[in-house]
Protein backbone atom coordinates (compact mmCIF):
# COMPACT_ATOMS: atom_id res chain seq x y z
CA UNK A 1 0.00 0.00 0.00
CA UNK A 2 2.82 2.40 0.86
CA UNK A 3 4.58 1.72 -2.43
CA UNK A 4 1.42 2.50 -4.40
CA UNK A 5 0.70 5.66 -2.39
CA UNK A 6 4.24 6.97 -2.80
CA UNK A 7 4.28 6.76 -6.62
CA UNK A 8 7.99 6.03 -6.16
CA UNK A 9 9.74 7.06 -9.38
CA UNK A 10 7.96 10.41 -9.29
CA UNK A 11 9.32 12.00 -6.12
CA UNK A 12 6.40 14.02 -4.82
CA UNK A 13 5.93 14.68 -1.10
CA UNK A 14 2.80 13.00 0.21
CA UNK A 15 1.62 12.92 3.79
CA UNK A 16 -0.76 10.09 2.88
CA UNK A 17 2.12 7.75 3.72
CA UNK A 18 1.67 8.54 7.40
CA UNK A 19 -1.34 6.20 7.47
CA UNK A 20 0.59 3.06 6.43
CA UNK A 21 3.49 4.14 8.66
CA UNK A 22 1.28 4.33 11.75
CA UNK A 23 -0.48 1.09 10.85
CA UNK A 24 2.84 -0.70 10.42
CA UNK A 25 4.09 0.70 13.74
CA UNK A 26 0.93 -0.55 15.43
CA UNK A 27 1.35 -3.96 13.79
CA UNK A 28 4.94 -4.17 15.00
CA UNK A 29 3.79 -3.31 18.53
CA UNK A 30 1.12 -6.01 18.39
CA UNK A 31 3.65 -8.56 17.14
CA UNK A 32 6.08 -7.66 19.92
CA UNK A 33 3.39 -8.40 22.50
CA UNK A 34 3.56 -12.08 21.46
CA UNK A 35 7.14 -12.49 22.73
CA UNK A 36 7.59 -14.84 25.66
CA UNK A 37 10.25 -14.67 28.37
CA UNK A 38 11.78 -18.09 27.71
CA UNK A 39 13.25 -18.95 24.33
CA UNK A 40 11.43 -21.50 22.19
CA UNK A 41 10.79 -22.00 18.50
CA UNK A 42 7.67 -19.86 18.93
CA UNK A 43 9.83 -17.06 20.35
CA UNK A 44 12.25 -17.44 17.42
CA UNK A 45 9.37 -17.25 14.94
CA UNK A 46 8.08 -14.06 16.55
CA UNK A 47 11.58 -12.57 16.39
CA UNK A 48 11.71 -13.42 12.68
CA UNK A 49 8.38 -11.65 12.18
CA UNK A 50 9.67 -8.63 14.09
CA UNK A 51 12.74 -8.44 11.86
CA UNK A 52 10.48 -8.50 8.79
CA UNK A 53 8.34 -5.75 10.34
CA UNK A 54 11.44 -3.62 10.88
CA UNK A 55 12.44 -4.06 7.22
CA UNK A 56 8.94 -3.05 6.09
CA UNK A 57 9.04 -0.02 8.40
CA UNK A 58 12.40 1.00 6.96
CA UNK A 59 10.97 0.86 3.44
CA UNK A 60 7.85 2.82 4.41
CA UNK A 61 9.85 5.55 6.16
CA UNK A 62 12.27 5.71 3.22
CA UNK A 63 9.34 6.24 0.85
CA UNK A 64 7.91 8.85 3.23
CA UNK A 65 11.13 10.84 3.59
CA UNK A 66 12.65 10.34 0.11
CA UNK A 67 10.93 13.32 -1.60
CA UNK A 68 12.03 15.75 1.12
CA UNK A 69 15.74 15.05 0.65
CA UNK A 70 17.00 17.01 -2.36
CA UNK A 71 20.42 15.36 -2.44
CA UNK A 72 18.95 11.91 -3.10
CA UNK A 73 17.35 12.92 -6.39
DSSP conformation letters of 9-65: TS----GGGHHHHHHHHHHHHHHHTT--SS--HHHHHHHHHHHHHHHHHHHHHHHHH
Give pLDDT tens digits for 19-71. Answer: 999 999 999 999 999 998 899 999 999 999 999 999 999 999 988 888 877 76
Residue 71: predicted pLDDT: 64
Residue 14: predicted pLDDT: 79
pTM for the model: 0.81
Q: Which residues of 19-50 are buried (b: 16+ CB within 10 A; e: fewer)?
A: ebeeebeeebeeeeeeeeeeeeeeeeebeeee
C-alpha angle 21-56-60 in degrees, rounded to nearest 5: 40
Amino acid sequence: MAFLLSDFPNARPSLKLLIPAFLALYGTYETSRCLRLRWSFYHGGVLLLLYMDVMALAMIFFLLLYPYEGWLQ
